[in-house]
Each structure stands twice: as structure tokens, then as C-alpha cells.
Structure 1
Amino acid sequence: MAGEIPDLHAQVRTGTGKGAARQARRDGLVPGIVFGGENDPLPINLPFNALLQKLKAGRFKSTLFNLKVDGHDDVRVICRDVQRDVVKDLPTHVDLMRLRRTTKINLFIHVEFEGEEKCPGLRKGGVLTVVRPEVELVVTAGDIPEQIVADISGMEIGDTLTISQIKLPEGAKPTIDRDFVIANISAPSGLRASDDEDEEEPTTEVIEQNVDTVEESEEE
């Protein structure tokens, strides 16, 4: 994991149940629970504004935090769930799981594409279709990558980029065993239309490019 592990400050929540949770929200706090490891579950409250800021920053569920609670030892945690108000879409409860640095966990990691300016397929008017903007990886809690990098600088029109062509961080591996598609470069619409006109018996089939259709084509 790049950089220093960020702190997440909280306080012990006195009382349990819906009444205590409602009071916490009235006080500008978000109730939560810390579970896992060898210790009992710990009810906590998180400052609403600080939590909202971290949520807006992104990758909250794929970030390892150093949880600091008064009267308790610091512990590394990762978010397993954020419950939100169905109307306002604001956080109402947070579930955090204790981790050791060596713990293996499954996380969705963002895919960052680079090399667009050099990509011959794009320079010829091709279109980059991203099938998987995130990839689920098994990673070590102490080394969670912020992203994985997909280099498309050498791709031509018609080329497909699969997970085996991406260098993964040391110790990380996909949760899916087969070599699945990350992205591809298709011909520009004008060229596809021209090719259709040249055919003696033109037929048109529209297929939505998504994970399910790509996986079906791989299995055939």
C-alpha cells in the first residue's frame, strides 16, 4: 500500500440499540462497529464530517486504516460496509473489520489506463472499451495497492487486453483463475459501417459490451 496508513479517529459508543444510534446521529456522529480478530466487537462513533470527507475522497472500502479509539490500542481495520440513508445517501452506520498486516483479503482495485497518447489503435480512430474498471484481487492487508496500471501504448484496433498482460503488485493475485478481459480497442463506427456495406448479405448484431458478454465469449 502506497504511503503511510491513514488514521481513522473514533470514540467508544456508550449504549447499544436504535436509541443510542439515533442519539449519536443527533450529536453529529455516525455509529459503527469494529469486529474480527481475537477481541469482542466494539461499538464506536465516528465524526460525521470527517467520515463524509473520507468517503468523498474515494476508495474508502479498499483503504487500510489505523483506527484510534481512546482507551484502546491502535488497530488496523478495513471497511466492510457503509449503510446509507435511502433518501439523503448519507452514511448512517459503518462496519469495520480488524486486520493483521499479514491478513489476506479480497478487494476491488481500480484499473488505471496509461499510454493512450501513444496507442496506435486510438490514433487511428479506434475506441477503447473498458470492460473492468476495477479488478477483484487477493491482497495482503499491509500492502493494499491504490491501483493497478494497464499499459495500452502498443494496442491496435481489434486487440484485447487481459489480466495476464498486467503486472500485479507483489503478493497480489486475481480472485478469478481464468485470463479475463480488462479492455479492448474496437474499430471506429465509420469504418465498421463501411465494412458492412462491402458485405453481400449484411447483417447487424448489437451486443452490449459488458463483463457478462465478454465472459460468455471467452468460455465458448
Structure 2
Amino acid sequence: MTSVFIDGAVGTTGLEIRERLAGRSDISIALLAEDRRKDPAARREALNDADFVILCLPDDAAREAVALIDNPRTRVIDASSAHRVAAGWTYGFPELPGQAEKIASAARVANPGCYPTGFLALVAPLVSAGLIPADLLLSINATSGYSGGGKAMIAEFEAGGSTTAFRAYALGLAHKHIAEMTQHAGLTHAPIFAPAVANAYRGMVVEVPLHLHALPSRPTLAAIEDVLRVAFDGSTRS
């Protein structure tokens, strides 16, 4: 039986992963008791004993957890943004060209971010096919539900602390997802990213506007749809 240790199992992401794995008869989930969760020795032992470790932690804590693993057997899936553009880590988006094979054998996998998943699904196949030049200047309009903001934001919205239906943020254009989007789409320039949160628990809309007549290859909408259809043919990702 495969053993999985979820570091950060009491957070929003950790709780959902536990729920998804709970019905698996081929997986045993290792958890630390409340009084041992922040004990470095207990964490080190759990991290090194598991076949797979899933990190559901803030970025600095995720880096710290990886540093505690001192055996080559433990494989890591990091749900934070700490390692998404880091050397030695495989980006966990299997629909990108060649990624499924890399993920299957990787010791270190960085789970894609929410916004980057939507952006890369739209843009990466078009860049790869040559319909979007790598140096094209792009913008991203995106809105997510408040659950993506973690416990504090969930509490704020559900307690009635936010009366707005739509709130833009990251107006300084320095959102941490930008490097991930740029690198894994194969872009030369970072896109302008304008995210917002809506007064809905879950869901996401990601839009990347394109002036088709301004693209060098002058693709039709049908041509773009064909590239995306081929790129995700047979995909079971939901």
C-alpha cells in the first residue's frame, strides 16, 4: 500500500485532498496529531517515512519541508507556489507537451496554480503551434471564487464582511503567478494579469483577449479552436 503524508492537512487545500483520497483502498494517509504538527522532529520523520508527500503549506514552509527530506525515495507534490519555476522540479500540468511522461517518473512535482492552469490551457498550445508569437504582449482577465483565498477570505465573505460582488486586486502587476505563466507558456514577455475575486464560493473564469487580425499568421477563430481541440483530445482533467 502506498503511504501519503499531507503536510498542512488542516488547511483548505489539505482538507480537500484528504477527502479526495479517503475512498482509496490502495493509499494510507499519514497525519500528525495536533500537538505534533509543528514539531520539527515529528515532521521530519513523517516526511521521510512516506512514499509520497503532499505539501499544502505557505511557500516558505514548503521550502522548509523539502529541506527536511533526506532520502531519495520520498516523492513530493507541492501545492504551494514555491517550486513552480524552480530548477529540478517538474511542472504538474500533464496536458502540456511531454509533461505527462515527466510527471509519472518525477521525484518532485509542483502543482500548477489556479489562474495559471486556465491561462496555460488557453495560451500554451497556441504558442506551441505558432499561432501566438512567443513575444506577443498578452493580458489576462480573471475572476475566482473566494475559497481560493484560504481560511481568512472564506471567513470574511461568509460572515458578511465583504459586501462587494466583485473586487479587483494585485493592482501592482506583481502577482506571484506571473512568472509561472510566462515560463510555462514559453513567452518572452510577462503578461499583464488583472485578477479579481467574486462573491461566490468556488469557480473561475480566465479570459485572454486576442486581436486575430494583429497576429502574424492571421489565424481564424476556427483555426484556434482546432489547435485547442487537438491539444486536449482525450484529456480527462476536470
Task: Give the TM-score category using the shorter length.
Answer: under 0.3
Q: Which has the higher strand share?
A: 1
Instruction: Output the TM-score relative to the length of structure 1.
Output: 0.27
Instruction: Output the TM-score relative to the length of structure 2.
Output: 0.26
Q: Which has the higher helix share?
A: 2
